[in-house]
Amino acid sequence: MSDTAVYGKVALIGLGLIASSMFWATRRAGLADHVAGYARSEETRETARRIGLCHEVCDSAEEVVADADLVVLAVPVGAMGAVAQAIGPHLKPGATVTDVGSVKRRVIDDVGPHLPEGVHFVPGHPLAGTEHSGPESGFATLFENRWCLLVPEAGTDPMAVARLRRYWEGMGALVEEMEPDHHDLVLAVTSHTPHLIAYTMVGVADDLRRVTDSEVIKYSAAGFRDFTRIAASDPTMWRDVFLTNKDATLEILGRFTEELFALQRAIRTGNGDALFDYFTRTRAIRRGIIEAGQDTDAPDFGRARVER
């Protein structure tokens, strides 16, 4: 391997935003000698070849994992079990398999049983993304100063975990380890339920026929505009997220409903003090996110497209 490489060969299964960004970040930092990619759609594979995504684009999952030191499952959560079953017999002894899914307990249950003895499974989740999807959406700086959570089960080879940590850090990510059920609860708070609320609010606007589509588009203020950005995310991915992290999402959604009822009561009764105190507390959360370097107060929220 080259001096900067963490892995000799990396195999990316699924070539959307995360996997394509991983390739550009890997190439920029020289973190692998060879990156091979595979996507189920022939159209996606042809697009990847056209834009130079990966050193090699293969026509099957079995082919792409041959001799790979690291295999990354970047497919919807609901498809990971089937992919793991297909590639299991073809994995190199000593290889590491990871994923980038937003749910961890279900992935562990679906993927783990299909991996042979001697292959290390280190589930992962980069907390980075945009509303864009597909092989042309990726860029090398997506993971810079963003958290990547590794969720290894007890007994996982610590050397395999440390090696994957170096790989993510090489792409610019901040890395922490977390227990799977706690991960799923945290993400239900920070990602899954907010997405569901965004989908709902955009759906309300679509159903409210007294406000025309042209008015919604023309007069969108920043709040609704941000809802539409979130609600533009990949529908297949988010369908699978909600179905596979059902319990945690429903728990947080119940808590959200209780808070919403309390705000309704404050508005109905004219309790301005309660509203002011509530908004003051929530404003502090936003300031904390900015101070932690996880967003910016710039008008574009730091989400301007970055060149590869």
Chain position carrying tokens 């834009």: 51
The mean pLDDT of the chain is: 89
Cα 300 to Cα 197: distance, rounded to the nearest angstrom: 21
Is residue 301 predicted with pLDDT exceeding 50? no
Is residue 303 predicted with pLDDT exceeding 70? no
The per-residue pLDDT for range 46-105, each reduced to its tens digit, is 999 999 999 999 999 999 999 999 999 999 999 999 999 999 999 999 999 999 999 999
Is residue 220 predicted with pLDDT exceeding 90? no
Looking at per-residue pLDDT, the higher value among 40 and 245 belongs to 40
Mean pLDDT throughout 200-219?
72
How many residues can be counted in the chain? 308
Cα 124 to Cα 111: distance, rounded to the nearest angstrom: 13
DSSP code string of 217-266: HHT--HHHHHHHHHHTS-HHHHHHHHHHSHHHHHHHHHHHHHHHHHHHHH
User: 255-276: string of b/e by CB count within 10 Å (b at 16+)?
Assistant: eeeeeeeeeeebeeeeeeeeee
Percent residues over pLDDT 90 in the chain: 62
Mean pLDDT throughout 187-212?
78
CA dihedral 12, 18, 20, 22 (to 10 degrees): -70
Mean pLDDT throughout 159-172?
98
Read off the pTM: 0.80
Domains of the chain: 7-178 (3.40.50.720), 182-269 (1.10.3660.10)
User: 20-34: string of b/e by CB count within 10 Å (b at 16+)?
Assistant: bbbbbbbbebebbeb
Question: At 302, is the pLDDT very low, low, confident or very high (cuts 50, 70, 90)?
Answer: very low
Which amino acid type is present at position 120?
H
Neighbours of 136 (CB within 10 A): 18
Return the H-helix or E-strand segment holding 176: strand 174-177
**pLDDT for the residue numbered 84:** 98
- Beta-strand relationship, 147-150 and 174-177: parallel
* CB half-sphere exposure, 267, CA atoms < 13 A: 7
Are 143 and 137 in contact by the 8 Å Cβ rule? The answer is no
The per-residue pLDDT for range 121-132, each reduced to its tens digit, is 999 999 998 778
Lowest mean pLDDT among 71-85, 177-191, 238-252: 238-252
- Beta-strand relationship, 124-126 and 147-150: antiparallel
**DSSP summary character for residue 10:** E
**pLDDT for the residue numbered 5:** 95
**pLDDT for the residue numbered 238:** 80
Mean pLDDT throughout 30-38?
98
Mean pLDDT throughout 138-153?
95
**pLDDT for the residue numbered 201:** 80
The answer for residues whose C-beta is within 8 angstroms of residue 307's C-beta and 6 or more apart is 139
**pLDDT for the residue numbered 298:** 59
Which amino acid type is present at position 174?
L
Lowest mean pLDDT among 174-178, 196-200, 218-222: 218-222
